[in-house]
Structure 1
């Protein structure tokens, strides 16, 4: 079989203008960037305001293995299959971060014969949205440190006289805004800045990966440019020495940050291998952020297409949960159907004693690990949404194991369970999945969120821990308890929760496989994301800046004699 990049390069593509026209965009509602991608302008939204919405399909998964289980492949394969059935469909996906691209997981364009193309452009830079987020975020960091430097150097009275600005009296011990970059770099997790004469004051700082930036969440959750400007102004950067919030608006940097982000708010239009339209926008990770693409892309797609396929990052305990409890509240668009992706090897890895080779035939491990799928199936159904289980088939999978898993999933409450071979066969390999989804969409959905933020943050945390993960309870560290009191004083304790935890387990502990029970969910820290409109709760040992492993992906990436990218 050809490599992903070879398949992408050799596939025939429709002109992006033709893709835009087939979706229902008029020529003045987008601008092309070459013949492979286009930026969709927000002026399309007023025209579509009165239009009815299509069906909304969200793709989620069981807890994955470290290399991923093919959720994006399944999302794109489903989109391609619906397109092959002459359905008007559009996919809405996140932009890949270069951290995973050059790390372990690789790109996020799908794979095999279920791809967004050209995959090299999608995985590397695209239209620069992530770079815009990084630049705007780091402008706030630079502005904060510069203000602290000048006020410290001159004193409040001289600063006010020379600058004409009101001193902010920033507390250097309560700076909250890190710096960001779109690469995995563990050396930057904890740093010291301001060293040397005329560079200070010296203080500790940190970097997080751009996908974890609150500004990325703002991009994904904004409804339009004015809403993004308002949210950026609310970003909490620090506190002053009187305990008052120093926001981006108060620092005077919100307008410039928005100017940098002005074009990033426009979704990027691309296409799948068989020419189905796909909107790429925003890129938050689900383990450290809310893990979903933008509500602007959803709104455009739902108004133009009859079926919209999107995905939430990692398992249903992560991206799907945040889709339902954060994103739906911001967008007003609830899912009509869910697809739950599973692989035989993922379930075998959740057996009490996982086999050394999770790709080998092992009925005992499969049957034991099935409990993880059953939990995720019940978890999605808890939100009142019909669920189709998609088994992403790998070459070594046997018919006996696949047949057993299909029947077991249906017995556990799935609307249907089908084998998807989108990776190997593209649209044709996902036709059965598409038919199952169309059938499930005939069932009425009765969507309801898991918790109601109005009850207060402590109640939301307890509900999410106990009902959302099956924990016996939740435990707040001393630091988290103090932060909860601060949030209550700020009137910010009635926001949704964005849980930052491991994706490898339903719990906070990656070593707890299958369906953990009786554990207490530890909350180490609570962070107010006032612009995004949620509170991030850090459960367990969570890294917001990944590191590169022993054998990172960049070792295999190069260009050939013709200048084509290989190894991606």
Structure 2
């Protein structure tokens, strides 16, 4: 035994990193998570409530009441896999006490195991003691994870279950080229592989500008590809690029004609 608890970071939200962690990593390795932590911020909630980035430090209870649906949906997504998540409310210096209180109140009757303040940035380890204790409590009872789709489902069935259950869509629209590829993949015997959806992390949907909890929309698949060696099928939702990490402006603009970096080097 290496340790009493092993933590793994899944990445992005419960509609992307966590879903893939469960359907691909957990299922393939037969490792069964016994708990989950979802990190939320007042700023992100207000952003999903329609607040501009430059105004996120300003109090806005109306935006919180709208944007909270996004976080609640992530909580519900995790619960669909049989886990009761602990919500870690990551505290920023400009968060107002009344906003923190409002968010805790709005999450009090959800499927979260607990909602705790995470203030390790300003307080160090002491700022996360409550979070650690909540995670321990949440993982005391043995859990047998559930899955949204079966590997025996067809590729389109898997995508439809993800779209309607995890992305809150009403239906799926397949581009003709994507449908043709699906037939080819399944005729090649690749239909039993899990799905690794390529979609925006900025929305539960495939459209970055659809904030909070989009509903009554059609999830669009524009293409589909197979990573047979890695062992998964990855549909392309909307216009998402499959190479992440690109900056908003080309870094060549930060270099002068002699190859010297202009100003401060930023990530």
Would you call these one fold, judging by a TM-score over 0.5? yes
Alignment correspondent of 2:3? 305
2:226 paired residue among 512, 528, 534: 528
- In structure 2, distance between residues paired with 1:401 and 1:444: 35
Q: Is the aligned partner of 1:334 residue 2:57?
A: no
After TM superposition, give the deviation of residue 522 of structure 1 in Å: 1.0
Alignment correspondent of 1:474? 172
After TM superposition, give the deviation of residue 551 of structure 1 in Å: 8.0
- In structure 2, distance between residues paired with 1:441 and 1:473: 35
Alignment correspondent of 1:276? none
- In structure 1, distance between residues paired with 2:129 and 2:265: 30
Alignment correspondent of 2:104? 406
Range moving further from structure 2, 398-407 or 510-519: 398-407
Alignment correspondent of 1:488? 186
Pair 403,539 (structure 1): closer, same or farther in 2 beyond 3 Å? same
TM-score (norm 2): 0.90
Matches within 5 A, 1:280-299: none
2:70 paired residue among 349, 355, 372: 372
After TM superposition, give the deviation of residue 329 of structure 1 in Å: 1.6
For CA contacts below 8 A with separation 6 or more, give which structure has more relative contact order: 1
Q: Is the aligned partner of 1:396 residue 2:125?
A: no
Unpaired segments ≥5 residues, structure 1: 1-302, 557-564
Alignment correspondent of 1:542? 240
Q: Deviation string for 1:453-473 (max 9, x for gaps)?
A: 202111111111111211111
- 2:84/2:111 contact within 8 Å kept: no
Matches within 5 A, 1:125-136: none
Secondary structure of residue in 2 paired with 1:486: helix
After TM superposition, give the deviation of residue 381 of structure 1 in Å: 0.6
1:354 paired residue among 51, 54, 58: 51
Q: Is the aligned partner of 1:512 residue 2:210?
A: yes
- 2:32/2:144 contact within 8 Å kept: no
Alignment correspondent of 2:83? 385
Alignment correspondent of 1:109? none
Secondary structure of residue in 2 paired with 1:410: coil
Alignment correspondent of 1:319? 17
Secondary structure of residue in 2 paired with 1:466: helix
2:41 paired residue among 335, 340, 343: 343
Alignment correspondent of 1:449? 147
After TM superposition, give the deviation of residue 407 of structure 1 in Å: 2.6
Secondary structure of residue in 2 paired with 1:349: helix
- In structure 1, distance between residues paired with 2:197 and 2:42: 27
TM-score (norm 1): 0.43
Secondary structure of residue in 2 paired with 1:505: coil
After TM superposition, give the deviation of residue 555 of structure 1 in Å: 5.5
Pair 489,405 (structure 1): closer, same or farther in 2 beyond 3 Å? same
After TM superposition, give the deviation of residue 321 of structure 1 in Å: 0.3
Alignment correspondent of 1:428? 126
Kindly tell me the number of residue pairs found equivalent between the two proteins.
257
- In structure 2, distance between residues paired with 1:550 and 1:469: 30
After TM superposition, give the deviation of residue 410 of structure 1 in Å: 2.4
Q: Give the number of the structure whose alpha-carbon radius of gyration is greater.
A: 1
Range moving further from structure 2, 428-437 or 540-549: 540-549
Q: Deviation string for 1:340-380 (max 9, x for gaps)?
A: 100001000111x3255012111111111111111111111
2:198 paired residue among 478, 485, 500: 500
Pair 424,551 (structure 1): closer, same or farther in 2 beyond 3 Å? farther
- In structure 1, distance between residues paired with 2:94 and 2:148: 38
Q: Deviation string for 1:17-37 (max 9, x for gaps)?
A: xxxxxxxxxxxxxxxxxxxxx
- In structure 2, distance between residues paired with 1:545 and 1:383: 28
More strand by share: 1
Q: Deviation string for 1:287-323 (max 9, x for gaps)?
A: xxxxxxxxxxxxxxxx411101111111110000001
- In structure 2, distance between residues paired with 1:566 and 1:440: 42
- 1:386/1:443 contact within 8 Å kept: no
Secondary structure of residue in 2 paired with 1:418: strand
- In structure 1, distance between residues paired with 2:88 and 2:254: 33
Pair 543,438 (structure 1): closer, same or farther in 2 beyond 3 Å? same
- 1:386/1:445 contact within 8 Å kept: no
- RMSD, aligned α-carbons: 2.1
Secondary structure of residue in 2 paired with 1:379: helix
Secondary structure of residue in 2 paired with 1:433: helix
